[in-house]
Amino acid sequence: MFIGIPSELEAALTDLTLPAWKLDGPALARSTMEEYRTELATAPRFEETVATLRHAVTGEGGGYAVLRLGNLAKALGSAAGDRFLRLATAFAAEIATPFSPFPQWPLWKDIGVKIDKDPGKSSGIGYNAFHMDLVNATRPPEYTTLLCVRPDPLGGGPSILSDAHAAVARLSEDNRALLAESAYHYGTFFNLHGLGEECKPFPILDGSDPGAGFVRFTAKMLERSQLSEAHGAAARELAEQLVWGQVSFMLEAGDYLIVNQRRFLHGREALQSGQETVPVGDRRLLLQLFLRAQPGTGSAA
């Protein structure tokens, strides 16, 4: 769902300057969240817009939304500027608590384009297959978010999303049983906080009721992890179903994608060829922010 910002709200937010945020460990401080909400709550149609956003991301039948903040990015100078990032953080805090699991990174993490990187990585230039972020943590983020600062100037790199539970429902009962076994592993786990412990091996299906819980899947493990023939075949069928059910769209400058990881997996089509001709400062740039739901909830902070 694409959610526009009403003109009267845009005008009010353009004139607003939120204070710098404070952190409490890896997370946005509760005092900052309360301060941002107090500042924004009186803006015309803010509550209405946030209610639409929450429903799209956490409501029945939902799982993701793109908040179209491009006009605000232009008015405030840049989608990477302090004033704009504080507004984006304030919107994110209406869904859940922003936090950074990476001690070496600030709250927002850059995802640029590196032509010498593994093409399948988030900063690579190739197809980034369906995955859940931080799949091998016992407490992965409930939400992953991506703010588009610059799209690919050559026109590539559409975002892809797929309803993970709908894909699982299309599998055979035997394959669902295989995916529920702790037989999968992927990636490393070090220098992280706020994510619990490493989950290795892990089940792709966590035993929750159908349609609930994380689907711990990353297509990269099909090539980079040693799986039994049966477990590999079940995971490949899931990958095929995710592609079958995918939606695809281009993020524009200022677009803010919020994905509920309990429901949807995400990825990206390849960037357009010729990236080596694009100056580094003009290449596609996203900023990533993770959100943590409060204990006992799947949604609001």
Average pLDDT in the chain = 94
Where do we find the tokens 């592993």?
185
CATH number of 2-292: 3.60.130.10
Instruction: Read off the pLDDT band of 298 (50, 70, 90).
Output: very low
Q: pLDDT tens for residues 186-232?
A: 988 988 999 999 999 999 998 777 778 999 999 999 988 889 999 99
Packing angle between helix 46-58 and helix 7-14, nearest 10 degrees? Answer: 110
Q: pLDDT tens for residues 35-77?
A: 999 999 999 999 999 999 999 999 999 999 999 999 999 999 8
C-alpha–C-alpha distance, residues 246 and 162, integer Å:
4
| Predicted confidence (pLDDT) at residue 118 exceeds the cutoff of 80 | yes
Give the residue extent of every domain in the chain. 2-292
C-alpha–C-alpha distance, residues 39 and 14, integer Å:
13
